[in-house]
Amino acid sequence: MEIAFRQRAGILGAAPVASIVAFTCYCQLTGRSWETPVLVSLWWGTINTACLGLAACILWWFRHRLFAWVEESDPASLCAAAGVIFLGLTSAAILAFVISRVSWEMPVRLGPSYRWFMSLLPAMLACAVAVTAVIAAMRWRLRKEVHGPAAGLAADGWISFPEAPLLHTRTTEVGLVRTAGNYCEVVVSGRPVLIRVTAKQLEERLAKHGFVRINRGTIVNLEHVRTARLYRPKRLHVLLRDGSVLPVARSRRESFQRDLLAFRTNAQQGRD
């Protein structure tokens, strides 16, 4: 985990530096180098990198909505995702242009600015489409990966609770667990049983039996999940055997999809 964190930190630290260098080189190559000092190009590259970073932070804030559009895989949703990314790029370009002009005490003229902006539209549109395609590929790969803690049922298929010695049941009889503070409500064959145990402790204990936590107050048995689909307002919900429809927290959506795919794949392999 520490190595992965260092790698991500290294990438996040190197990306702005690479962007500044790229913008600086672009300014030097496209302009007249004898009329454009290196410090001016460096300042221009820094402004553009800062504006792109701001746009990236805003898009990252709305990443769940973008991921939902991409996962729907219909043309309208894909166009909406690409349009939002395109809007972020164009806003960053306009902001960088205005800041550069103001910092150099140059007038912002609509005529030349309009022509410059229109010349950049095809490139920014291509970037938006490319970013959308990368997100779609990453999400497709993520959904195809088979790994995670839910590797199927335990060998004996029974669950024991030290906090409730009289509660000894099969995994197939427990559909979900509701959590609240230091207590958990285990639903056994439709009958709730209250035991004193924290949600974290119970989550770790039931992971080997195919249970995963889908939100702050709910742990479900993957064997009882009939389907998982997007309901309004575009949020993932799971449908259990008993007809219950439960929402999946956005922060747990990716891990839940991986665990459900892994569980069903291993169950299918076991039957074969």
Domains of the chain: 2-144 (no CATH), 158-271 (2.40.50.1020)
List the beta bridge partners of residue 176.
187, 220
Rg (CA), the chain: 26
* Proportion of the chain above pLDDT 90, given as a percent: 3
pTM of structure = 0.49
Comparing 40-49, 113-122, 218-227, the range with the smallest average pLDDT is 113-122
Instruction: Give the pLDDT confidence score for residue 110 in this predicted structure.
Output: 58
Instruction: Give the pLDDT confidence score for residue 26 in this predicted structure.
Output: 74
Of 101 and 36, more confident: 101
Question: What is the rounded distance in angstroms from the CA atom of residue 246 to the CA atom of residue 224?
Answer: 12
What token pair was written down for 6?
Answer: 């260092």
pLDDT in tens, 58-115: 887 777 677 767 766 667 778 888 888 888 888 888 888 888 777 776 666 655 566 6
Question: What is the rounded distance in angstroms from the CA atom of residue 49 to the CA atom of residue 27?
Answer: 13
Instruction: Give the pLDDT confidence score for residue 42 in this predicted structure.
Output: 82
What token pair was written down for 220?
Answer: 């479900």
List the beta bridge partners of residue 191.
188
Measured in whole angstroms, the distance separating CA 71 from the mean position of its chain's CA atoms is 11
Of 220 and 116, more confident: 220
Question: What is the rounded distance in angstroms from the CA atom of residue 268 to the CA atom of residue 272?
Answer: 6
pLDDT surpassing 70 at residue 4? no
Confidence of residue 36 (pLDDT cuts 50, 70, 90): low
Tell me what the mean pLDDT of segment 240-268 comes to.
84
pLDDT in tens, 194-253: 888 888 888 888 888 889 999 988 999 998 888 888 775 567 888 888 888 888 988 888
Instruction: Give the pLDDT confidence score for residue 58 in this predicted structure.
Output: 85
Vertex 103 angle, CA 102 and 104, to 5°: 90
Instruction: Give the pLDDT confidence score for residue 151 in this predicted structure.
Output: 35
